[in-house]
Amino acid sequence: MYLSAANHRIPLSDGNSIPIIGLGTYSEPKLTPKGTCAKSVKIAIDTGYRHIDGAYIYQNEHEVGEAIREKIAEGKVRREDIFYCGKLWATKHDPEMVRPTLEKTLSVLQLDYVDLYIIEIPMAFKPGDEIYPKDKNGKWLYHKSNLCATWEVECHPYFTQPKLLKFCQQHDIVIIAYSLLGTSRNPTWVNISSPPLLKDELLNALGKKYKKTAAQIVLRFNIQRGVVVIPKSFNPERIKENFQIFDFSLTEEEMKDIEALNKNVRFVEMLM
């Protein structure tokens, strides 16, 4: 399949399609300055991104919606050009809660629809006002628990997920990779003992060969496997750089060499 900066959608099993690279918008609400997310989304759209990955739990969907609407008003894009993925939080899994929760997301975004709406994490927490409900002993309060068109999972050269990728390909499920370049290494939710991916010798050697960064090599590796990538960045230059992955290809041998880097290491350890 030929992919380019102008045309980089891949098909989904339901007849729709998804851009193979998107902008991740996760942020720490208390640490991220107001307006940072909106600015980054606007830069991403100007760069050529058409896929924006957001979530209610990120607490910045109002900025994402503002940026998308501004770019539509400028005539830079049409709403149908943008693929927005929203997420259902773990306390809202009951069927009767899904529609009102989605409608709240749409109200915050000030958009008429989202293109993809997925479950944020597979664990269902007890419904209520608490985002992370726990009992008096500090234990998680779980709630009750099917195949989808997409699965968003951690996937990168140190955690290549070969069995899951094969399973998903057999069932026409598209994998979306998060934390594919590593993470902010926040010790509250990240395994900080994990090796820093972007310092890997092979990835940097390939970057030197193709005049690319290690991050661009990682992104290209995943899209050549048919994995959708959503690198998060609020850095204008990195947002643009992460999109420049359609002007080169890795050889079959190089793909195998990168696959051999697998250490079965997760960066994100959500021990819930």
The residues, any chain, with a CB within 8 Å of residue 235's CB and separated by 6 or more, are: none
Burial of 125 (0-12, 13-18, 19+ CB in 10 A): buried
Measured distance CA(72)–CA(82) in Å, rounded? 10
Buried b / exposed e along 206-216 (16+ C-beta atoms within 10 A):
bbeeeebbbbb
The β-bridge partners of 154 are 178
Measured distance CA(187)–CA(31) in Å, rounded? 15
What's the token pair of residue 69?
Answer: 């609407």
User: Is 158 an annotated catalytic residue?
Assistant: no
Measured distance CA(57)–CA(121) in Å, rounded? 11
| Catalytic annotation, pick one of 26, 49, 56, 58 | 58
Task: Enumerate the active-site residues.
Answer: 58
